[in-house]
Amino acid sequence: MWTVLKFDKKNFNLFKSDLQSKIGKNFVIYKPKVLIQKYQKNKLISKEFEILGDYLFCFHKDFSDRNTINKLKFIKGLKYLLNGFTQYQKDIKNFIDNCKKIENDDGYISNNLFEINLNTLYKFSNGPFTEKIFKIVDFQKNKMNILMGNLKTTVDKREYIFNPI
């Protein structure tokens, strides 16, 4: 069963080791992350961001047991345990599956989480077109034709991260 936990980013390793001592080694932690690349002073700088901030998903088969949940409340590095996760297991699982589908080989979310619409303005978050605004003219399965000012080009939509404006 999946649960949603809010943790202290500074004490993540302490949190993870204390979690292991309380419930054992057979748990899974999932923190979706994205790699943002920007040009600053003609240098490409890469930064890793966790898209959920200081929240994470944790899976353990015994999370349906109330005693196991009570053990979690006193883990070092844990700020908060979201209640009501038992009713939303299907939604949590769908979100995690969707995130894992669009991850690249390095474990970063490489595609867009948003629905892509034609004739809508977007802004690149990585790559050579970082911070450039463009409009999507047409798209196929993995390619999209974009218009940046007067320049019309085709890009692979799996390579770039872009956000709607």
Q: Do the beta carbons of residue 37 and residue 130 sit within 8 Å?
A: yes
C-alpha distances in Å from residue 158, one per residue of 17, 50, 59: 35, 19, 28
Indicate the SS3 state at residue 72: helix
Q: Which pair of structure tokens corresponds to residue 2?
A: 């999946």
Q: Do the beta carbons of residue 92 and residue 55 sit within 8 Å?
A: no
Q: What per-residue string of b and e applies to 77-112 under the rule 16 or more CB within 10 Å gives b?
A: bbeebeeebeeeeeebeebbeebeeeeeeeebbbbb
Whether 12 and 93 share a structural domain? yes
Task: Please indicate, yes or no, if residue 152 is contained in any of the structural domains.
Answer: yes
Whether 97 and 21 share a structural domain? yes
Condensed to tens digits (0 to 9), the pLDDT of residues 111-163 reads: 555 677 888 898 887 778 888 899 999 888 888 899 998 999 998 877 787 87
C-alpha distances in Å from residue 61, one per residue of 3, 40, 49, 64, 132: 11, 46, 28, 7, 45
Whether 86 and 29 share a structural domain? yes
pLDDT at position 48 is 87
Whether 93 and 129 share a structural domain? no
Domain around 156: 121-164
Task: Please indicate, yes or no, if residue 41 is contained in any of the structural domains.
Answer: yes
Pick from 101, 134, 152: which residue ends a domain? 101
Condensed to tens digits (0 to 9), the pLDDT of residues 73-109 reads: 889 999 988 888 888 899 999 999 988 888 888 888 8
